[in-house]
Structure 1
Amino acid sequence: MNSQRSPPTYPQLLTFALFGKDVEYRAAIGNWILGTNLFNTNPILAVNNSFKIINTPHFFEEDSVHPDQDIIDLMARSYPGPNLFILAVDSENSQEENVVAQISKLQEIFGQQVTEHVFIILPDIESLQSLLHLKQIFNIHLAVANENLASECKTWCFGRHSFLYDYKNYSERVVRRRRTALMKITVNSLSDGPPLPHYERAGLDAMTPSTPQYGLSASAGDTFQNHACNGANEVTDTMINIILLGLTGTGKSASANTILTAGYPKIDPEQLFRSEASSMPITKQCEAKIIQKPFKRQVRLVDTPDFFNEEVKNCQAQVEACKRFCQQGPCVVLLVLQLGRITDSEKEIIQKLENKLGWRIRDSTTVLLTHGEDLKGSLEKYINACGALKNIVAMCNNRYHLFNNSSKDSKQVTELIKKIPNFKKKKKSLMSLVFDALQLED
């Protein structure tokens, strides 16, 4: 893998369409990729933090009752196209003529170029050796089933564009209409009933996100929702995520509270993020609060621990939690730095966070400086005089703001909102673990 390649501009799920004649073998492949046993129940769709896998239980059945509907549903769920077509070939169907027949059916339906995205997973090395010549004939990828399939799939997808349907056999309008219908079913299912399951069972049309549902709490005078640790599954058309990142002691939690109190000045102190002056990390896990004031739209405000502090236990789990928040809708980052204290470890903080999170945060980051009460003179002159800070700000397209967290002046928050990139542009939310980031048209 080329270490000089820039990370992706947004954390995205890889979408796989899973095919295969044998139900149990197909389930085993799905489980290996996901690292769970979700496919033991033969779901139509299953997801984790990295992959969305669409199962096709009737695809190669000659007596399928609704073959065209099966194809349209696959196209709708994976719109505008999957990253991989995974063909799970079990030992009973690994003869060359059977494998070629399955490849040919994929080509017949999706076009000749589909083979560039076909990943055939075989049961043993003998099958691989006997079918290896198909790699040159069809321009496909072959591998033997193993517990490292997730890593192999990621590696093979790296740097490749996803497959795009050509709609020669099926109308794009029909596919998009079906996708819209599936989305509406999902939105309706989110608005009522008990906590949602984390996969879609065969026979159901409702696509549901995999993140767990957490308890809500709200003070009497201020309405917002409070979520701890791994995530929240609320989905709205205007939800945006604001993630505060930075090292211990920079003022992330205090800044989050400044934002909270700007919209909710009478907030119960128990509803604030925990914040106190300390050289040791106070925030040990990701915590989110869903608010509307003063943003005039629904915002998920996420406080995070110091991902580089050895005192933070299960650090990687918190990194994954942060990534899940970013996958649940449009995401902007506030990189919190303390005015007058740029440490050696912060000089390359952007690159370190991008490596940690796996996506290019600088395109959606605003540098938030704290301890504004200590500033003497112009902030712009101060930044230009500090080479390390100037470089960090430049990486973020010169977006920066200053907070005095001891002040109750809400104007500093409204001014920050104006500087957040694309904040006023209302985007459709990403149903992170279910839908792609593409906006739908009527």
Structure 2
Amino acid sequence: MFGGPSYRQSLFTKLTLGLTLVPIVVFSVIMFWAGLRTQNTLHQELVYQINDEMAALAEIYVGSGVKAVSAGIDQRLTLTPLTRAGAHYSFIARGGETLAGDLGPLPDGASDITKTVTLADERFGPLLMRSTIFSGGEVLNVARETAAQRRALSGSLRDYFIGVAAILGLSLILIVITVRRLRRRLSTMNSIFARVGDGDIDARLSTLGQADELSVLAEHINAMIARTGRLLTLRKRVTDQVAHEMRSPLTRLDASLFRIENNAGPNEEIDQARDELKHCINLLDGLLDISSLDAQQGDKRGFETIDFSQLVEAIADLFDPVAEDENKPLQLSIDRDVHVFGSSSQLGRLLSNLFDNALKYAFDETAISISLKREGEFAVLRVSNRGAPISAEAARDIFTPFFRNPDMSAKKGYGLGLALSRSIANRHDGFLELEPTPQRILFKLTLPIV
């Protein structure tokens, strides 16, 4: 009756995306902040190394002179630093002669005695460098490679992607499993509501093995359905009792009016009164018939194997003269030897109601289509006509007793025929439904084949 939402419209899809994206966003912010901290820490560490190295060489210069500084630089170039941040030097005399070091000529303005600067070297790559000038005019440049810093940052970036993939994978697995369970449970609830809407007041939700909010909701739903069932049963008993108690006096009243009319002669007012009485009696008969059928659900006494194909043709033959008079011919398409297990009188009444409705509500000079097909293990009867469309609101209530389509209020009827027909179909383990089709009204009866 009601279709579930698509995955794009589902609240659970939005919940899944939200719960997946939130940890990724949080993790990304944390990793971005950690990356900045790591970059600043590594940069500051290189600055400390450069400053310490420069202070040590300046101390050598003050204590031992230029040659000692040159020797110290040569010695340092033979060592591999533990941090793998390669050390490079340039010691230049006042006249521009290179005294020691492995750095080539530096671009103009590359040296800065106030702060560390970054420059690109063809041999060593990006360098962080600082300069100082000794008292004799010599210039000392101390540099460190930043490759280690880049490797650390790329490692952090790799860890970030690994972390994101792990969070995304675990989140999706856990959330999808949880959401699927929730969707299944809610789908079960929706199916129970649909069954109750179709008249199955004994349908209940299972609450075994669960102890969460949905279980509490299921208990409330079961209690609501049970209370609704009790109210419907009570109403039905009252209705049946009233119908039963009223039918006998109304019948006696009709008989009395008939005797009066026979003695006094024809009387228009008496005829009208008898017509109204017959209308009431027929209405009460319909209520009692529905009540009787509902009470017989599951009771197969009196059932026999019936050639449903022949029954459909026989009922159609009865309606054929009326259909020809109203210029609404019956078009039959019937599979042969379709047998069902049931009551021929009740199924005949069901067919009569369907054919009568089809003729009553069809447009003038349009055909009535009657199709009986064997589909798998079921006999499927379709009765359709071209008529005024039935609104969605009316389609939901069309099998309810006393319901009359507001758009068809001019047509005579009690609003019991389709309710009675569905009760007959249910007693035969079948189902009667209204199928929405463009520009046609189609009733579909499904019965199990013997």
Superposed pair shares fold, TM > 0.5: no
Which structure has the greater CA radius of gyration? 2
TM-score range, shorter chain: under 0.3
The structure showing larger relative contact order (alpha-carbon pairs under 8 Å, at least 6 residues apart) is 1
| TM-score (norm. length: structure 2) | 0.21
